[in-house]
Structure formats: structure tokens, C-alpha cells
Structure 1
Amino acid sequence: MKLKNIVKELEIKKSENNKRELKIIDETGLNLSSNDYLGIGQDKNLRVEFLKKFGDKILFSSSSSRLITGNYKEVRELEEELDKIYKKSSLVVNSGFSANKTIIQTFYNKNSLIITDRLNHASIYDGILSSGAKIVRYKHLNIKSLEESLEKYSKIYEDILVVTESVYSMDGDIAPLEKIVKLKEKYLFDLMVDEAHSYGVYGYGIAYEKKLVKDIDFLIIPLGKGGGSVGAYIICSKEHKDYLLNFGREIIYTTFLPSANILWNLYILKNMDRFKERRKKLEDLKNFTKEKIKELNINAICESQIIALIIGDNKRADVICKNLRDKNYIVYPIKSPTVPKGSERIRVGLNPNISKKDISNFLEEFKNEFNSIF
């Protein structure tokens, strides 16, 4: 791509009020933009406890892929623990993005059909493009739309994958996993579920809580949100795991995570029951927030710990967020085309360290800003 074309495209982004830049976070403000839904990643006491127990075992590089010297003792212990919990085989990989992309491009090809929720993550779409499979998008969380696609294509394609997330990052809305699983009985497709925004918040994830793991071919558990860490778990059959180790390019040719991350992930996994009180506080805060939004008559989507405060314009979203940051609230706009035009927003991630007073004051400030910006 020529430099003049690069400059031109960046200027277009700027003129549309949509040019992305790295931000400097004021750590003294109230952080409402984090995905650390249980406060695990920022918990100093938890970190001190972890380092006291495992500090002498920590290394900061594995220096190799899993298939060479990266298959060290701690990661084997982590996968053994996962196998016991989910009662299937597990594979730890470097990120949720890599997990989603690798699964799709490894197991599916030009003879396959991928039926994906319209609002699925970019990593899922990257995997589909890499695979060469035919893509069909169904209306967001719409079971009727999904079944219409299955009805239309199941007689044409033998190899079909349906992909959904459990909780969606922009609206915080929740997929009807039981209904999707029920469709498998009739249409015999493979099912892939991304639990990025439900792990931790719902314990081991919504699929686990609803006893659906056995019905899901690829359960992806990224750890950078409620898990307070980095990396991802792939929960699948032993045959799928073995195939990934032999044909999954991003697994074979990637330097694996160091023991510092793996030990932390194992520590969080084994202590999941300790976070029940945090989950209870988060649920209480979510319900309080929903009531406050209703009281203030704010246009918002709030089904989970993710709250979307709808503004409806890129420029207004920028101005409102800047004014709120000046008042010590760490918030940033989510603009089109990341979300559909007219639904530009502030995305708030709740966590149990946010007080009801804090969220109440913030929502009142947001309402004032929204009403004053024309």
C-alpha cells in the first residue's frame, strides 16, 4: 500500500471523527471501561498471595512453542485441572483471538459452511476468511433467523459450523444457548461458543452453569476479561485437540505463554469458589444500575455486567466522554462502524469494586452531559 494512500485513508478517518489513537489512562479516576469484571486483575492482595506462594517458580518466557520445550509441568497441571472441571479435553493457547481464528481455519475449508451471529467478534470473522468457507450471517441472537439458514443450507452442506458468543461485548446481551443446542438434534451441525465475557462472572462460564458443555464442540474461554489474565482455554474432544496440535498453525509456530501467566491462570481456576461474594456484589450492582437508568430515563442496554449508554452520534460521543473524563470518569466512546451508525455509545463494564454511589453519580453526570450537548 502506497504511503499517499495510507495518509489519505487516515485523513478520511479523521474527517469522520473516527481516527483511533492510543490513550493515556488517568489511574486516579473511576475506571468504568475495564473488562476486569470481578476485579481479579487489579486485586493487590490476591497478587501478593499468589507471589508468596509461586514467586520462586515464575519464569517470564517459555522460549518455545508447546511442541518443543513449551509443554512444561505447570501447563500440564492446568490442563489436567480443566479436564476434570469440564469433563472434556482442554488446550491452553495464547489468546482468545488466536483460539477462535485457529479453530475455524484448521477444521473448516471451502467445502464448509459457517453460520455466524452477525455481531460475532472480529477474530471469528478472521478465521472464516482464512478458512475459505462459505459464510452466512444470521440476525443477532435470533433463533428463527438461525433456523431458517440451517433449513436452507443443511441439505447442501454436510460440514456446517454455527458460531455464537455467550455474552456480547457491545450490548452485553446473552445468547439463548439452550435453544441453539436444541437445534443440533435436528440439523447435526458443529457448535462453537466464545465465553470471553462470561467466564468468571458466571463461574466457569454460562455453558458450564447450564450443563451444556457436552453439547458444544468448541468451547472457547478467553481469560483477559473476568479471568483477570491473558491466554485462552479451548475445551473440545481429544481428537480435536490432537488435530490442533498437528495442524493448528498458530499453535505449532507460536512461542507459548510463560509460567508466570500459566500459574496465575491455574491459581484463579482453583480458587473460583472464593469469588462467589464478588459475583453476588456484581449482580446486585447490575440490578441497581438498571433501576437507576430507568429512573433517569436513559437510553441504554443493560442485560449483564456490560452497560451500553446510547448516544447516537460519533462527535457527540467524543465530546461527552471528554467532559466525563474531565470529571474523573475513565470512559471512552464506542463509535460506528464498530457499532451500527446511530447506536454510538459509552460502554460501561461493572465490577464489584464500584460502589452504588459511584455509579449513581456517574449516571447523573452522564444524563446532564447528554442533555447539554446538541
Structure 2
Amino acid sequence: MQKEKIIQELEDLKNDNRFRTIKTNDKSLYNFSSNDYLSLAHDKDLLQKFYQNYSFDNYKLSSSSSRLIDGSYLTVMRLEKKVEEIYGKPCLVFNSGFDANSSVIETFFDKKSLIITDRLNHASIYEGCINSRAKILRYNHLDVSALEKLLKKYSKDYDDILVVTETVYSMDGDCAEIKKICDLKDEYKFNLMVDEAHSYGVYGYGIAYNEKLVDKIDFLVIPLGKAGASVGAYVICDEIYKNYLINKSKKFIYSTALPPVNNLWNLFVLENLVNFQDRIEKFQELVTFSLNALKKLNLKTKSTSHIISIIIGDNLNAVNLSNNLKELGYLAYAIKEPTVPKDTARLRISLTADMKKEDIETFFKTLKAEMKKIGVI
């Protein structure tokens, strides 16, 4: 490690407008950057119901150990059982979506394997791919035909193939056709892994569940840090795969388990998802309204979901736009390279259930005016 080299790399990041910093959110700003899509994390009535339902004298704030030593409390066992009741397959709880995604791939696949991944899959997926040392092929984003061509070309050369996709993509807000991908299993032999980070909650138990595809998915990963309003992740898979993860996944074996109180909240949210149907339906109406409002203003987006991406292009323009909006009372972060491809820096706008239509409309009009000022439209 050379300190001079590190200093130079940080300077290069600053010069390219790619330098990252950590900031405390200003609560006075209207937040268009939150992943709390159903607004559960800030629902005081829901929190009060949670507090009333449980006596916290019996629940520790730390597990103080890994699951395999002394950290597998009754709460996490109840949670995994409830997930299995709903999805029809065993569940293993991980500490984060990043750990879950990377662990599944690096635990089950190796240098003799082939991994075919959507080009825009999350960094946690690529982390697992690299750690596995498998051959990695990428297909054009959401292009099921391109995926099939790769399967047709390579399926005879590999006995061990993994296809990985997300459902809703967090940087573009577009959605994969997972049914079409599942249908490919009728013709080609491969394992399928699906990440539902941005669809769980927003679509109830998730898109795979709603479309009755859980049985066709070998590894269904459900991170809980978005609409789940929490922390952790479910890996839903066959019992034999669950046992293998317990015995072989380093991130599972050597990590202190989530605190029991967190798993209790995860169980509470899961059990109450059926009671959020009105909220979910109203939120979908809000999404439709928002996408139509953008069209009326001629603001282009690829989004078909609650995540709206407005491509700006240049890093500096995206940062300036975000800063200008902040001065006007809106929190909408700029997403830059390398999180997104070069020259596709963007404003990532997240809708949440507690927003009002008139506020969204006003924000979009303000956004368009500020884009004109900096010359990007």
C-alpha cells in the first residue's frame, strides 16, 4: 500500500466529480432519494402497533454471536419458518442483501462453472461472480433473446451454469421478464438466481411469488433494506442448498447474527404485508400518476416502476443539478460513474407511499426548469 498512490487516486476522483462523501440527511428537505418505498420505517402507527405487540424485555439488542455459536435465537427461527410457510421453500436469513447475493454465488459456483448475468446486475452479484472464479458472460440488459443465445451456445460445454437477474433494477427502474427467463429452464439446464431487493413489499411478497415462479427459481434472494424497512435478507432455496450455505458460506459462518429485535421487526412486517394491500394499491396509482406526469412534461425515462431515472450524462452536471434542487428544498441524489456506466450520470428519483401527487408534480416542474438552466434539455 502506497499512501502517495492513494492520495493521487482520491484527487483523480475529485477531478472527475466521482469523489464520494458521507453526509447526514437534512430532514427538512422533501426526500426523493429514500428506498423506504411503502413508508413503513416512518409510520408511527405501525411502530406503535409493533411496540404494543411485543414485550421487549425478552428481546436482546445484540445477538452477541454467530448463528452457529450462540446467536440463533428463537426470533430468527420463527422468521425463517414463516418465510417457508409463505414461499413454500426453506429460508436462511443473512445479515444483508450484499452478503446474501455474493455468498450464494461464491459458495456454490467455482472455476468449472459458467455464470451468465444481466449486464446491469448489482455490485454484490458481481462480487460473488469474481470470488467464485467462474467464467462470466454478460448479456445486454433485460435482453432475454441474448440470454437464450448464450445458453444455446454454451450449455453443452458446462455442466454447472448459473443465470442471475434482478426483478426491478435500481438505477433505471425497469423490470426483468423473469417468467420468460424461467421458461428457458424447460429447454436449457441451468440454475436461476433472482434478486427481489426493489420489488419485495412494493409488489407484496414479490414478483416471483405473484407470478407463481418460486418453484422455478433455485435461489430467491429478498433483501429487506428497501420496502422491507429493515436490515437483512432472505435466501429462499431447497433444504439441501440451505444446509450447504450453513456449512460452507464464510459470510454466514463467521458473521455475528442480526440482533433478535431486528428479526422480530422483520417477522412483524412479513406477517403484516397482507394488511398493506390498500397502501400498495394506492402506491401503484401514485407511480402511474408520476410516470404520466413526466410524459406530459416531456421528461424522458426508461422507468416503468417506482424508481425513476433521469439521465443527465455528465458527472458535473448531475452533481450541480442535485445541489440546485437541494437549495430549492428537494433531496434527489446524483448517481455517477462507476455506479452507472460512463456518460450516463443521472438523477435517481425514488417515490414513496407518503408522497402527495401535487408535491410530485411541483417537483417535476422544478426539475425541468433546473435542467433547462444548466443546459441539459
TM-score bracket for the superposition, by shorter chain length: over 0.9
1:31 corresponds to: 31
1:4 pairs with 2:16: no
Aligned positions of 1:192-211 closer than 5 A: 192-211=193-212
CA shift digits 1:304-354 (9 cap, x unpaired) = 010111212111111111111011111110112322233221111111101
Deviation at 1:179, TM superposition (A): 0.5
Q: Could you tell me which amino acid in structure 2 is paired with residue 201 of structure 1?
A: V
Give SS of 1:220's match: strand
CA shift digits 1:200-245 (9 cap, x unpaired) = 0010010000000000000000000010000000000000001111
1:46 corresponds to: 46
Counterpart-to-counterpart distance in 2, 1:32 and 1:16: 25
Show structure 2 runs of 5+ residues with no match.
none
CA shift digits 1:34-55 (9 cap, x unpaired) = 0011001121221122122223
Q: Could you tell me which amino acid in structure 2 is paired with residue 35 of structure 1?
A: N
Counterpart-to-counterpart distance in 2, 1:349 and 1:257: 27
Counterpart-to-counterpart distance in 1, 2:136 and 2:267: 36
Counterpart-to-counterpart distance in 1, 2:120 and 2:344: 14
Counterpart-to-counterpart distance in 1, 2:295 and 2:236: 39
2:159 corresponds to: 158
Counterpart-to-counterpart distance in 1, 2:110 and 2:141: 24
Deviation at 1:257, TM superposition (A): 0.4
Counterpart-to-counterpart distance in 2, 1:202 and 1:152: 35
2:301 corresponds to: 300
Q: Could you tell me which amino acid in structure 1 is paired with residue 225 of structure 2?
A: G
Q: Could you tell me which amino acid in structure 2 is paired with residue 217 of structure 1?
A: D
Deviation at 1:70, TM superposition (A): 1.3
2:88 corresponds to: 87
CA shift digits 1:93-132 (9 cap, x unpaired) = 1011000111111100010000000000001111111111
CA shift digits 1:156-211 (9 cap, x unpaired) = 10000000001100011111111100111111100000000000001001000000
Deviation at 1:64, TM superposition (A): 0.8
Q: Could you tell me which amino acid in structure 2 is paired with residue 181 of structure 1?
A: C
Q: Could you tell me which amino acid in structure 1 is paired with residue 184 of structure 2?
A: L
1:251 pairs with 2:252: yes
Counterpart-to-counterpart distance in 1, 2:325 and 2:349: 13
Q: Could you tell me which amino acid in structure 1 is paired with residue 178 of structure 2?
A: L
Q: Could you tell me which amino acid in structure 2 is paired with residue 196 of structure 1?
A: A
1:269 corresponds to: 270
Counterpart-to-counterpart distance in 1, 2:92 and 2:324: 44
Counterpart-to-counterpart distance in 1, 2:302 and 2:150: 27
Counterpart-to-counterpart distance in 2, 1:299 and 1:82: 39
Show structure 1 runs of 5+ residues with no match.
none
1:21 corresponds to: 21
CA shift digits 1:264-311 (9 cap, x unpaired) = 000000000111111111111111111111111112222001011121
Give SS of 2:181's match: helix
Deviation at 1:151, TM superposition (A): 1.0
Give SS of 1:311's match: strand
Give SS of 1:271's match: helix
Give SS of 2:63's match: coil
| TM-score for both structures, normalised by structure 1 | 0.98
Q: Could you tell me which amino acid in structure 1 is paired with residue 166 of structure 2?
A: E
Q: Could you tell me which amino acid in structure 1 is paired with residue 250 of structure 2?
A: R
Q: Could you tell me which amino acid in structure 2 is paired with residue 28 of structure 1?
A: S
Aligned positions of 1:1-374 closer than 5 A: 1-54=1-54, 55-374=56-375
Counterpart-to-counterpart distance in 2, 1:104 and 1:284: 36
Counterpart-to-counterpart distance in 2, 1:219 and 1:153: 24
Across the aligned residues of Structure 1 and Structure 2, the Cα RMSD in angstroms comes to 0.9
Counterpart-to-counterpart distance in 2, 1:339 and 1:9: 19
User: Aligned residues: percent identity?
Assistant: 52
Q: Could you tell me which amino acid in structure 2 is paired with residue 263 of structure 1?
A: L
Counterpart-to-counterpart distance in 1, 2:255 and 2:309: 36
Counterpart-to-counterpart distance in 1, 2:40 and 2:353: 10
Give SS of 1:100's match: helix
CA shift digits 1:36-91 (9 cap, x unpaired) = 11001121221122122223333111011111111111111111111110111111
Counterpart-to-counterpart distance in 1, 2:133 and 2:340: 26
Give SS of 1:162's match: strand
Counterpart-to-counterpart distance in 2, 1:336 and 1:168: 16
| TM-score for both structures, normalised by structure 2 | 0.98
